A and B are shown apart, each in its own frame.
Chain A
Amino acid sequence: MLRGVHIRDDKDFSGCSIFGMMNAAGVKFTGEPMITAIANMKERSNGLGGGFAAYGIYPEYADLYCFQMMYSDEAGRLDAEGFLQANFVIEQAEVIPTSACEGVSDAPLLRRYFVQPRENPALACELEDLDDFVVQAVMHINAEIDGAFAFSSGKNMGVFKGVGFPEDIGRFFRLDEYEGYIWVAHGRFPTNTQAWWGGAHPFNILDWSVVHNGEISSYGINQRHLEMYGYKCTLFTDTEVIAYAVDLLVRRHGLSIADMARVLAAPLWEDIDRMPPRERELHSALRQTYGSLLLNGPFSIIVSNMSQMVGLTDRIRLRPLVAGRNGEWMYLSSEEAPMHLVDDAIDDTWIPSGGEPIIFQLEKTDASRERESVSSAAAPA
């Protein structure tokens, strides 16, 4: 937690724009088109938050977890680095490169660390599952270490976010210098609470990143359910619960992306009642078991990991989402215009139904298999 910003069991309320772009063949591209696209939806944000997640950007450290950290001051940095050193072998520690940019100010100290969990960590934890260990470490940093916040923790990926318009945040983080094959972006319109750097989207845990437009009226129970599984929701926003819910359902419980979507945006009972028996049994069990993770209220989200980009709206579709495809180029967006802006050849766009997940999957090229193997522990089944 950043110094001076204390944990609250409350949430932030947001409007927002979302945009995602991936190349299914694994061709990498810079953040430049992302900045162009998200800037095109400027009226959806208000300068109080913007951010990006990019996959495939750290190939030289592809086997290592990358902790991207915000510190409110040196004390926070020292405390967090002490914690990291006690629990991880730090292969590389460096300042996250930034450039002064008009519209972006009061940035915290930004550092990143490429790490591997120690064999005998200080954090009381079973080391059977390295991903679980990393999740616990992130929870510990964000909840317990004053002045420090881990805002991304995956392998070969990173989140870049802060207070400002997203295009300014993109330039601040020099995203034109990174190359990735999946990118997601977010422009934020917080309406009820303060804007702070950690509260910007995407929200991340391990390789999962989530950008979100909307507000989760089920936040209270989603949070309480996740707490039973060790997740600590400390980041003032309802989007955080989505990232943790996805991690719980897909990574820890082994659900498919489609089944995860059926939990977050469950079909209505009247639709389930009309399904064939086997499907009805499955959907009923999903709702009965995971009802506390149903996301209620308006949302459109993009969930990404090393090999997938998933779009999903709430089941009665209270927020916009458009999908588009041009060969191996795939898009998800709050509006259609930005897709045409960055891809003048795109002619296949559609509006998904409420609760229907759009799953864009990286093709099984040799290159992508190699990439996926890096994140095999976190990748969905």
Chain B
Amino acid sequence: MKSYIIPEFLVDRDDHRCIRCEVCVRQCGFDVHYYDEEDDEVYVDENKCVGCLRCVTLCPTNALVVRENPTQVPGNANWNREVLHNIYKQAETGGVLLTGMGCDKDYRNYWDRITLDASQVTNPSIDPLREPMELRTYLGAKPDALKIGGRKGKASLQTALSPQLRMETPMMFSAISYGAISYNTCECLARAATEMGTYYNTGEGGLHRDLYRYGDHTICQVASGRFGVHADYLEVAAALEIKIGQGAKPGIGGHLPGEKVSAEISRTRMIPEGTDALSPAPHHDIYSIEDLAQLIYALKEATHWEKPVSVKIAAVHNSAAIASGIVRAGADIVAIDGIRGGTGAAPTMIRDNVGIPIELALASVDSRLRDEGIRNRASIVIAGGIRSSADVVKAIALGADAVYIGTAALVALGCHVCQKCYTGTCNWGIATQDPYLTKRLNPEVGTRRLVNLLTGWSHEIMEILGGMGINAIESLRGNRLRLRGVGLTQEELDILGIKHAGA
């Protein structure tokens, strides 16, 4: 069937610069470029170009330009190009539209409508280059009060604290499963988390045995499919996370196509090679908050009460009530994933239309837990569209203990957000299992890039804290007085619990 979709991108090749080295041909997993020996020419099939820019980046002579195709179906504000393309695609295939990475709709981005406070004369700013700045964060349930005994001068702690996750910077790598991403990507995340004194999350794909050595910095997920969940997996983790929902597709389960289930993934996930890995939307042993409590305590029991248990939900309108229930069910950490959260493969309509921005969910969850007096019984971790250190600072000031970084971490590894992860042909070697492509991500280089990213963001967080006259991250956590909204409605300000700029 002839496709009615006009190519999204045009690939211009400067013949004077092109040396026919065929790097572009070899680098493009989508087969956009091909070399014709007889003509000694490299041709392109622009219909296949996804705009990942791998060829442009690696072309040794800068002979390539990829640009958006100016010729498009006319469209209008209502029947825009994306809408028309989607209809053409479905008319051609009869299938559910799939996409990769987070929601790209123009919903209001609240991070960009919130500004930070600064200190000046009466409480001067603190110079983070010369004064101590503390980003260390502990995740886990905290007691309401401590009991301290012992004689004077030899006081000792009598309250036993629940297990805590110690992190040297309030940022972790989001749950991305082995299968959705390559082994090398998993290794980069694991090594970088270890080097930075923080954590990465296995997602629902289990944990490859070769990565067990990074267990102290691994949060192992227990999702509905229970892929790769066994005693050793639970034992090696620093913490466990029960995945109920994910921001890109709340209420929707996972789907790893059979072609991505290689021998290694088969072993790790404990499923037959080449079969689809379908994780249902619900956990079939959790149909109530009491059931969730049972699983939380089962996991605690299975790991000798030595590991914090997190429960991850997607941001939806009643997240606050759900979070309250989760805390009362015994979770040590509540992870909330917003509508901009990415996933390797999500139904487009679900991704773009279900869920709410994480900023609003975070604010309402933090407020609700405080109103109920149970905020210190669990830590809050948020995910879904954290793009910079400023977003991190704003998230913590709104009430998060820490953030998960997903898309930004993949971008640090080379991802150009072409949103074609679900094809399994990621040219950057990130979201693929093709051995030829996965080699492109060097674990040494990838680890360095991730460490650099977190190091840079950590420095920036320190700078921002210093500017606010704060030198410990816990004095920022939930400190909404240091935030101001710009151009927000009163209702939005009320939900966020912040004042408008100028007030």
A interface residue numbers (CB < 8 A to B): 9-11, 13-15, 191-192, 214-221, 223-225, 227-229, 252-256, 258-259, 266, 268-270, 278, 281-282, 285-292, 294-298, 316, 318
Contacts and interface: CB of A to CB of B under 8 A. Distances in A.
Interface residues of B, number: 42
Interface stretch (B6-14, B198-206, B468-476): B468-476
B370 A224 contact: yes
Interface in B138-174: 138, 142-143, 145-148, 152, 155-157, 159, 161, 164
B142 A288 contact: yes
A289 B145 contact: yes
9 contacts: A215-B123, A220-B482, A229-B373, A254-B147, A256-B155, A278-B156, A290-B146, A292-B477, A298-B469
A366 B122 CA distance: 44
A227 B370 CA distance: 8
Contacts of A291: 472, 474-475, 477
Given A218-B475, A227-B370, 16 more contacts: A192-B122, A216-B123, A218-B479, A220-B478, A223-B481, A224-B478, A224-B480, A229-B373, A256-B155, A258-B155, A269-B136, A281-B156, A282-B157, A289-B143, A291-B477, A298-B469
B148 A217 contact: no
B161 A285 contact: yes
B164 A288 contact: yes
B75 interface: no
Contacts of A216: 123
Nearest to A295: B475
Nearest to A12: B122
Given A220-B480, A268-B132, A268-B134, A287 B474 contact: yes
B470 A217 contact: yes
Contacts of A217: 119, 123, 468-470, 475, 482
Contact of A228 (B143, B152, B375): B375
B481 A266 contact: no
Nearest to B132: A268
B126 interface: yes
Contacts of A10: 481
B142 A289 contact: yes
A268 B375 CA distance: 24
Contact of B472 (A223, A266, A288): A266
B1 interface: no
A66 B143 CA distance: 34
Contacts of B474: 221, 287, 291-292, 294
Contacts of B470: 217-218, 296-297
Contacts of A192: 122
B423 interface: no
B376 interface: yes
A219 B481 contact: yes
B124 interface: yes
A269 B138 CA distance: 12
Contacts of B482: 217, 220
B121 interface: yes
Nearest to B156: A278
B148 A259 contact: yes
B131 interface: yes
Nearest to A189: B122
A281 B457 CA distance: 29
A316 B475 CA distance: 15
Given A227-B370, A253-B146, A256-B155, A298 B124 contact: yes
A46 to B, nearest CB: 12
Given A256-B155, A285-B157, A292-B474, A191 B142 contact: no
B478 to A, nearest CB: 5
Contacts of B156: 278, 281-282
A355 B482 CA distance: 24
B120 to A, nearest CB: 10
B159 A269 contact: no
B469 A191 contact: no
B43 to A, nearest CB: 60
Interface in B383-428: none
Contacts of B146: 253, 255, 285-286, 289-290
B471 A316 contact: yes
Contacts of B142: 288-289
Nearest to B160: A285
A255 B158 CA distance: 12
B476 A221 contact: yes
A288 B138 contact: yes
A72 B122 CA distance: 30
A291 B480 CA distance: 16
A289 B370 CA distance: 15
Contact of B122 (A191, A285, A296): A191
Contacts of A254: 145, 147-148
A13 B122 contact: yes
Residue of A218, A224, A253, A286 contacting most chain B CB atoms (<10 Å): A218
Contacts of A191: 121-122
Contact of A296 (B136, B143, B157, B472): B472
Nearest to A9: B481
Contacts of B159: 285, 289
B132 A296 contact: no
A149 B474 CA distance: 32
A236 to B, nearest CB: 13
A292 to B, nearest CB: 6
Residue of A192, A259, A297 contacting most chain B CB atoms (<10 Å): A297
Contacts of A282: 148, 155-157
A355 B376 CA distance: 25
B502 to A, nearest CB: 13
A278 B474 CA distance: 23
Residue of B138, B146, B370 contacting most chain A CB atoms (<10 Å): B146
Residue of B126, B131, B481 contacting most chain A CB atoms (<10 Å): B481
Nearest to B145: A253
A221 B482 CA distance: 10
Contacts of B126: 316
Contacts of B370: 224, 227-228
Contacts of A278: 156-157
Nearest to A228: B373
Given A220-B479, A256-B148, A291-B474, A316 B123 contact: no
Contacts of B476: 218, 221
Nearest to B473: A291
B124 A318 contact: yes
B350 to A, nearest CB: 35
B356 to A, nearest CB: 23
A297 B145 contact: no
B141 to A, nearest CB: 10
Contacts of A214: 122-123
Nearest to A215: B123
Contacts of B131: 316
A289 B148 CA distance: 13
A221 B478 contact: yes
Contacts of A228: 370, 373, 375-376
A298 B123 contact: yes
